[in-house]
A and B are shown apart, each in its own frame.
Chain A
Amino acid sequence: MKTVLKALLGSAVLAMAAGSASAATLDDVKAKGHVQCGVSTGLAGFSAPDDKGEYTGLDVDFCRAIAAAVFDDPKAVQFSPLSAKERFTALQSGEVDVLSRNTTWTISRDTALGLNFAGVTYYDGQGFMINSKKLQGISSALQLSGAAVCVQSGTTTELNLADYFKANNMEYNPVVFEKLEEVNTAYDQGRCDVYTTDQSGLYAIRLTLSSPDDHIVLPEIISKEPLGPVVRHGDDQWLDVVKWVYYAQLNAEELGVSQANLEESMKSENPEIKRLLGTEDGGKLGADLGLTNDWAARVIKHVGNYGEMFERNVGADSPLKISRGINALWTKGGLQYGMPIR
Chain B
Amino acid sequence: MATQQTIAEGAAPRVPLLYDPRVRGIAYQILVFVGLFAFVYWIIGNTTANLQRANIASGFGFLQGRAGFDIGDSLVAYSSDSTYGRALYVGFLNTLRVAILGIITATIVGFVIGIGRLSKNWLINRICLVYVEVFRNIPPLLVIFFWYFGVLSVLPLPRDSIELPFGSYLNSRGFYFPKFLWGEGAGLIALALGLALVFIWFVRRWAAKRQAATGDRFPVLWTSLGLLIGLPLLAFVVTGFPLSFQFPALSTFNLQGGIQVRPEFLSLYLALSFYTAAFIAEIVRAGVLGVSHGQSEAAHALGLRNRPTLRLVVIPQALRIIIPPLTSQYLNLTKNSSLAVAIGYPDLVATGGTTLNQTGQAIEIVAIWLIVYLGLSLATAAFMNWYNARKALVER
Determine whether A166 belongs to the interface, using a CB cutoff of 8 Å to chain B. yes
Assuming the contacts A153-B354, A154-B358, A159-B69, asked whether A147 and B253 have C-beta atoms less than 8 A apart, the reply is yes
* A6-B172 Cα distance, complex, nearest whole Å: 51
Number of interface residues of A (CB under 8 A): 43
As a 0/1 sequence over residues 351 to 363 of chain B, the CB contacts with chain A under 8 angstroms (1 = contact) are 0011011100000
Contacts of B251 in A (CB 8 A): 146
Of B6-14, B149-157, B212-220, the one contacting chain A is: B149-157
- Interface residue tally on B, bucketed by range: 35 or more
**Chain A residue at minimal CB-CB distance from B32:** A2
User: Are A6 and B39 closer than 8 Å at their CB atoms?
Assistant: yes
User: Are A174 and B343 closer than 8 Å at their CB atoms?
Assistant: no
User: Are A191 and B70 closer than 8 Å at their CB atoms?
Assistant: no
CB distance from B268 to the nearest CB of A (A): 13
CB distance from A163 to the nearest CB of B (A): 8
CB distance from B358 to the nearest CB of A (A): 7
* A161-B80 Cα distance, complex, nearest whole Å: 10
Interface residues of A in 64-115 (CB under 8 A from B): 84-85, 92, 111-114
CB distance from B264 to the nearest CB of A (A): 8
User: Are A178 and B344 closer than 8 Å at their CB atoms?
Assistant: yes
B153 CB contact (under 8 Å) in A84, A146, A166, A189: A189
Interface residues of A in 131-166 (CB under 8 A from B): 134-135, 143-148, 153-154, 158-159, 161-163, 166
Contacts of B35 in A (CB 8 A): 2-3, 6-7
User: Are A158 and B354 closer than 8 Å at their CB atoms?
Assistant: yes
Determine whether B173 belongs to the interface, using a CB cutoff of 8 Å to chain A. yes
Contacts of B103 in A (CB 8 A): none
Contacts of A162 in B (CB 8 A): 68-70, 80
As a 0/1 sequence over residues 320 to 336 of chain B, the CB contacts with chain A under 8 angstroms (1 = contact) are 00000000000000000
* A240-B369 Cα distance, complex, nearest whole Å: 42
Determine whether B350 belongs to the interface, using a CB cutoff of 8 Å to chain A. yes
**Chain A residue at minimal CB-CB distance from B171:** A190
**Chain A residue at minimal CB-CB distance from B31:** A3
**Chain B residue at minimal CB-CB distance from A153:** B354
**Chain A residue at minimal CB-CB distance from B341:** A178
* A177-B264 Cα distance, complex, nearest whole Å: 11
* A182-B345 Cα distance, complex, nearest whole Å: 12
User: Are B53 and A114 closer than 8 Å at their CB atoms?
Assistant: yes
As a 0/1 sequence over residues 112 to 124 of chain A, the CB contacts with chain B under 8 angstroms (1 = contact) are 1110000000000
* A112-B354 Cα distance, complex, nearest whole Å: 18
CB distance from A313 to the nearest CB of B (A): 28
A146 CB contact (under 8 Å) in B70, B254, B346: B254
* A185-B152 Cα distance, complex, nearest whole Å: 10
* A1-B36 Cα distance, complex, nearest whole Å: 11
User: Are B344 and A148 closer than 8 Å at their CB atoms?
Assistant: no
**Chain A residue at minimal CB-CB distance from B154:** A189
Determine whether A261 belongs to the interface, using a CB cutoff of 8 Å to chain B. no
Assuming the contacts A114-B55, A134-B157, A153-B353, asked whether A178 and B152 have C-beta atoms less than 8 A apart, the reply is no
As a 0/1 sequence over residues 181 to 194 of chain A, the CB contacts with chain B under 8 angstroms (1 = contact) are 01001100111010
User: Are B72 and A176 closer than 8 Å at their CB atoms?
Assistant: yes
**Chain A residue at minimal CB-CB distance from B69:** A158
Contacts of A322 in B (CB 8 A): none
Determine whether B234 belongs to the interface, using a CB cutoff of 8 Å to chain A. no
* A159-B354 Cα distance, complex, nearest whole Å: 11
User: Are B68 and A148 closer than 8 Å at their CB atoms?
Assistant: no
Determine whether A175 belongs to the interface, using a CB cutoff of 8 Å to chain B. yes
Assuming the contacts A158-B69, A178-B350, asked whether A173 and B254 have C-beta atoms less than 8 A apart, the reply is yes
Most chain A CB neighbours (cut-off 10 Å) among B32, B35, B342, B344: B344
Determine whether B252 belongs to the interface, using a CB cutoff of 8 Å to chain A. yes
**Chain B residue at minimal CB-CB distance from A5:** B35
Contacts of A154 in B (CB 8 A): 353-354, 357-358
User: Are A189 and B149 closer than 8 Å at their CB atoms?
Assistant: yes
Contacts of A158 in B (CB 8 A): 69, 354
Determine whether B256 belongs to the interface, using a CB cutoff of 8 Å to chain A. yes
Contacts of A153 in B (CB 8 A): 69, 344, 350, 353-354, 357
* A147-B358 Cα distance, complex, nearest whole Å: 25
Contacts of B54 in A (CB 8 A): 92, 112-114
* A330-B335 Cα distance, complex, nearest whole Å: 55
Assuming the contacts A3-B35, A158-B69, asked whether A190 and B256 have C-beta atoms less than 8 A apart, the reply is no
Contacts of B378 in A (CB 8 A): none
* A172-B70 Cα distance, complex, nearest whole Å: 9
User: Are A146 and B354 closer than 8 Å at their CB atoms?
Assistant: no
* A23-B70 Cα distance, complex, nearest whole Å: 40
B354 CB contact (under 8 Å) in A143, A176, A190: A176
A85 CB contact (under 8 Å) in B31, B263, B353: B353
B72 CB contact (under 8 Å) in A6, A134, A175, A189: A175
Determine whether B71 belongs to the interface, using a CB cutoff of 8 Å to chain A. yes
User: Are B72 and A166 closer than 8 Å at their CB atoms?
Assistant: no
B172 CB contact (under 8 Å) in A144, A159, A182, A191: A191
* A197-B86 Cα distance, complex, nearest whole Å: 26
Leading 8 A-B pairs by shortest Cβ distance? A154-B357, A3-B35, A189-B152, A162-B80, A177-B344, A147-B253, A174-B70, A190-B172
Given A161-B70, A176-B354, A191-B173, output 20 extra A-B contacts at Cβ < 8 Å. Answer: A3-B31, A85-B356, A92-B54, A114-B53, A144-B253, A145-B252, A147-B252, A153-B69, A153-B344, A153-B354, A159-B68, A175-B344, A176-B71, A176-B346, A178-B344, A190-B152, A190-B157, A190-B172, A191-B263, A193-B254
Residues of A within 8 A of B (CB): 1-3, 6-7, 84-85, 92, 111-114, 134-135, 143-148, 153-154, 158-159, 161-163, 166, 172-179, 182, 185-186, 189-191, 193
